[in-house]
Amino acid sequence: MEAVPAPRAIPRGRKRAEVVAREILKDAIRRKIPPGSRLAPESQMIDSMSVGRSSLREALRILEVQGILTIKPGPGGGPFLNTVSSRNFGTMSTLYFMASGATYRELLEARVR
pLDDT in tens, 21-51: 999 999 999 999 999 999 999 999 999 999 9
| Cβ(21)–Cβ(65) below 8 Å | no
Which comes out higher in pLDDT, residue 8 or 98? 98
For residue 110, the model assigns a pLDDT of 81
| High-pLDDT (> 90) share of the chain, % | 57
- What does the pLDDT average to over 60-88? 92
For residue 4, the model assigns a pLDDT of 61
For residue 107, the model assigns a pLDDT of 81
- Interhelix angle for 16-30 vs 53-65, to 10°? 70
Q: Residues with Cβ < 8 Å from 101, sequence gap 6 or more?
A: none
Residue 63 has pLDDT above 60, yes or no: yes
